[in-house]
Amino acid sequence: MKSICGLDCGGCGLKETCGGCTETKGRPFGGTCMIAECCARHGCVNCGKAFEAPCRLKEELIAEFNALGIQDMEEVTSLNALVGSFVNLAYTLPGGQVIKFWDDKRMYLGNQICKENSDRCYGLTADENYLLVCEYGQEGADPEIVVYRRRKIQGGYDD
């Protein structure tokens, strides 16, 4: 299964439900894919440079996550393509309102990082405009927002 960004989707357990990246013109799962959009916008579509290779968008997001300076979070060294339904946790705000930040059908960049000296993890998710770091227990239990902020470079990397 070929993807627009060069990501090898052959081993993905969701490849039958996503619809295929090239087949859906960069809209797997029916939503937009920030990676495919970035590749199309910056001319790296089908350039032969796989997403696993150095990618400016990934490098910038990794640097932005590390610059947050979250004391007990390991250094971020990689980000993965993640469907929104995996990362779209529901957070209860102090006033009792429950909110979700992401679109279940959209593709984002993110990772799970272990919290030092804890059984909880940090969940990192980003799109073109926002960074979210949350903390949660096993299988996403009891999620708490650590940081939600507008990215320094709006809409992806600056040309």
Position 57, amino acid: L
Q: What is the pLDDT of residue 2?
A: 64
List the one residue out of 35, 29, 34 whose CA is nearest residue 6.
35
CB 105 within 8 A of CB 84: yes
pLDDT of residue 76: 96
Distances (CA, A) of 69 to 76, 80, 115, 129, 139: 11, 21, 13, 19, 25
Share of the chain above pLDDT 90, in %: 47
The H or E element containing residue 132 is strand 130-136
pLDDT for 68 beyond 80: yes
**Residue range 105-134, pLDDT digits in tens:** 998 999 999 898 899 999 999 998 999 999
Q: Out of 32-46, 75-89, 141-155, which region has the weakest mean confidence (pLDDT)?
A: 32-46
What pLDDT is attached to residue 54? 57
Confidence of residue 73 (pLDDT cuts 50, 70, 90): very high
DSSP for 94-121 reads: TTS-EE--S-TTSEEEEEEEEBTTSS-E
